[in-house]
Structure 1
């Protein structure tokens, strides 16, 4: 008698059976780009053997655009499969924005989360330049084209314009919170002033559902997906190998982008905890 066992191999070389699987997708560090994460989300959404996804978030947030793009793909994934969020050390601002899309959110009691707000930062080096005998000139096509220029003081009209942008994007964040978390708009606005919360505090406020770690989230995901027995869990690959750095088409650019992301994030519209 012969038995045939059908297996597959993950990207990191582990052998998998044909049993129902749970995929883990990680959102870590400052969010500056959505393409890689969304590629994973879309890919797992199309796989019949993936019955559910755990979204592991350990991020202080990042750019508004990338955070919203990932949020939208998580919402699309939810139409096909269960999505459970597991928060690590921090899942704040844009990290929480993404988390709000999940079917259920797990946080550690000491996870730092919340920071529901928006920020833009600009430097003014006009006086510094004058001390060393330098003066900048700008030729522009419109009154607001050089808004935020570091070589001159910001005008009141410019501050007002930027504040209107901040307020609009902040309202978008607040709406995501109350629509996804089942709390009132007033309750969401009351806590959407940028303050951070522990996981335990967030649970009391209705921002997370359960206190627990990654394994607790995986166990609950299996139950929600109707998986019998112990599911096979597909974890993401860890880090960049020397081979990746030498031969990958985009690994070097990713590394450079990561190193300069902290600087860049100061000058774009951000959902980020400070």
Structure 2
């Protein structure tokens, strides 16, 4: 017969083990949520004091920018915020993501002034989000413009034929399966997709024409997809001035009759500062490799549909 004290100790140890297992699983789940989770941050406790906000858009523009858009819309309604400095260093990205950010900047610009300062590249969708601004500053070597849309349709049917793999697709209509990664693009599908790209391109051209106050035909003559340096873009009317972010801030303060000491506060979507995501990232870095974790987890960008991106 088992010792009652021994049985009690074993039950107590089993409950503790169950508790710590559950806690470990819960911590892991929270960590993964924290890696992808963000919080909206308006840096600086400047409520009631006039200031400018700076929004930085760097890297590939993804298709989901809802949190940043919410911040921009809220800033447009804040009385103490007198204007926005939009810092762009992006080759572009998703057409839908660029359009959504463009519209958010335009809504802000309808209420308060926006000045754009371009970094090394502000092309395609990176240029799209810049055009609602009242003034655009670029460096002489900034690559900008690249007004256009690209849609790619990979086809691996030739490779499948070589390895003896056949894929049958059942579709409700001839255009439903276009494009397909396992079937060649049909002439009708090519025509249909070219029409989609042409319509998205027309929308892009209209955004530039409206934002830069240029005739549509003039914009279309510049919009063959090529990038321009800042020095080339200036006489073409795509940018307003060669200068740095300091020049852009000074221009905006003069326009709003603000003092030189008026602060510029970063407005951005910040990642959670919880220790749990950092711990889990370190663990995943050891298991999977820091390079993979950094590119997929920390800098993952959602891209879908057509792209407005400069691809050198």
TM-score tier, shorter chain, comes to 0.7 to 0.9
Under a length normalisation based on structure 1, what TM-score does the superposition of the two structures give?
0.85
Under a length normalisation based on structure 2, what TM-score does the superposition of the two structures give?
0.76
> Among residues 155, 177, 190, which one is paired with 1:159 in the alignment?
190
Are the equivalent residues in 1 in contact too, given 2:43–2:266 (CA < 8 A)?
no
More helix by share: 2
- Seen in structure 2, the aligned counterparts of structure 1 residues 188 and 12 have a Cα distance that, compared at 3 Å, is closer
- Seen in structure 2, the aligned counterparts of structure 1 residues 196 and 19 have a Cα distance that, compared at 3 Å, is same
1:216 aligned onto 2:247: yes
Alignment map for 1:84-163 (pairs within 5 Å)? 84-163=115-194
Considering only CA atoms, is the larger Rg found in Structure 1 or Structure 2? 2
> Among residues 33, 55, 61, which one is paired with 1:31 in the alignment?
61
SS at match of 1:99: coil
Following superposition, the deviation at residue 237 of structure 1 comes to 5.8
Structure 1 gaps of 5+ residues are 1-9, 248-253
User: How much is the aligned-residue C-alpha RMSD, in angstroms?
Assistant: 2.7
1:272 aligned onto 2:309: yes
Structure 2 gaps of 5+ residues are 1-39, 279-293
Further displaced range: 172-181 or 48-57: 172-181
Are the equivalent residues in 2 in contact too, given 1:106–1:209 (CA < 8 A)?
yes
Further displaced range: 235-244 or 187-196: 235-244
Following superposition, the deviation at residue 216 of structure 1 comes to 0.9
- Seen in structure 2, the aligned counterparts of structure 1 residues 117 and 29 have a Cα distance that, compared at 3 Å, is same
Deviation beyond 6 Å, 4+ runs, structure 1:
none
Residue in structure 2 matched with residue 250 of structure 1 by the alignment: none
How far apart in 2 are the matches of 1:245 and 1:56? 31
Following superposition, the deviation at residue 19 of structure 1 comes to 3.4
Aligned residues: 258
Alignment map for 1:1-274 (pairs within 5 Å)? 11=41, 14=44, 16=46, 18-32=48-62, 33-236=64-267, 240=271, 243=274, 246=277, 256=296, 259=299, 261=301, 265=303, 268-274=305-311
Residue in structure 2 matched with residue 4 of structure 1 by the alignment: none
- String of CA shifts for 1:215-257, please: whole Å, max 9, x gaps: 111111111122133211102469747637718xxxxxx9747
